[in-house]
Amino acid sequence: MSSNPSPIDIDPAKKLPAALYVVATPIGNLDDMTPRAIATLKAVDIIACEDTRTSGKLLNHFNIDTPTWAYHEHNSEVQTPKLIERIQSGYAVALISDAGTPLISDPGFQLVQAAHEARVKVVPVAGVSAVITALSVAGLPSDKFTFVGFLPAKTHGRQKLLQTYHERSETLIFYEAPHRIIASLEDMATVFGHKRSITYCRELTKTFETVVKSSIGELIEFVKQDSNQQKGEIVLVVAGHSAQKQLDESVQHDKLLLRLLEDLSVKKAAALASDITGVKKNALYQRLLQLQQQDS
């Protein structure tokens, strides 16, 4: 079993211990770059980048002149052993992706896995992740969630994969490419239903950030009517099956309570609604009081 070192206080003027440093970078707003990430990237010997041109803009912004190596899905088989050999020879190597935390929908897993197998130290330098950023603003249950990533490119593959998640109770998180967003949402409507709750997160932390919580059916129309919503980086956060069922039941209970309240007192309306739904009377009584406050 490999072990990680304890967190390290980094002085850019000093050489870092030989290790693989997995460094999170901003997903849009450069102010989200942490001081520790900047110090780490300045102090390592090599930065392995998903795209050296994309990362070059970030590194130039923070005056980081550390040498970079291209490390992506097309060269990882060749580059992985070379980087591990460098670390074993005493080099400190940082791994970054184009944006966010490495290994989330990028090839970094192979390098981290190889580091553990070679008993090389792996140090996380925490920061932004689009998955957690989207979940934090989605307004959907966050105690349990599954990150699915990108859906298949073709309709048959998408619907087949989505069907495996149809009955899942936890919140589901997807990435999607802008040119496929409408087709993917339509497939979600086919499999999950038009009423399933969803939060659409586009261009998070950037100038044209969009966060919209609605049903899948309503979201399809929103995206179709605005071509700007078919551009940029997109994260979809979808309610789980049981969460949607609870939401639907809650809406029905509210309608029932309000109808009973037209003819009965709060106490009697809650008691009768409890007999009809099986929900505890006190919970319904408290909900009725909330509904009255909202109407006042």
Domain chopping of the chain, boundaries: 19-128, 131-239, 244-295
For residues 132 and 101, what is the distance between their CA atoms, to the nearest angstrom? 10
Predicted confidence band of residue 257 (pLDDT cuts 50, 70, 90): confident
Q: What is the pTM of this model?
A: 0.77
Give the strands of the sheet with 210-215, arranged side by side: 145-150, 171-176, 234-238, 197-202, 210-215
| Residue 267 in this model has a pLDDT that exceeds 50 | yes
Is residue 59 within 8 A of residue 47, CB to CB? The reply is yes
The predicted-structure confidence for 155-202, as pLDDT tens digits, reads as follows 999 999 999 999 898 999 999 999 999 999 999 999 999 999 999 999
As its CATH architecture, domain 131-239 has: 2-Layer Sandwich (3.30)
The predicted-structure confidence for 214-246, as pLDDT tens digits, reads as follows 999 999 999 999 999 999 999 999 999 876 666
For the chain, the C-alpha Rg in angstroms (whole number) is 25
The predicted-structure confidence for 49-99, as pLDDT tens digits, reads as follows 999 999 999 999 999 999 999 999 889 999 999 999 999 999 999 999 999
Closest Cα to residue 186, out of 216, 161, 157, 215?
216
Cα–Cα separations (whole angstroms), residue 217 to 148, 179, 283: 21, 18, 31
In CATH terms, the fold of domain 19-128 is: Cobalt-precorrin-4 Transmethylase; domain 1 (3.40.1010)
For residues 82 and 75, what is the distance between their CA atoms, to the nearest angstrom? 11
292 vs 241, higher pLDDT: 241
Q: Return the H-helix or E-strand segment holding 59.
A: helix 52-61
| Residue 12 in this model has a pLDDT that exceeds 70 | no
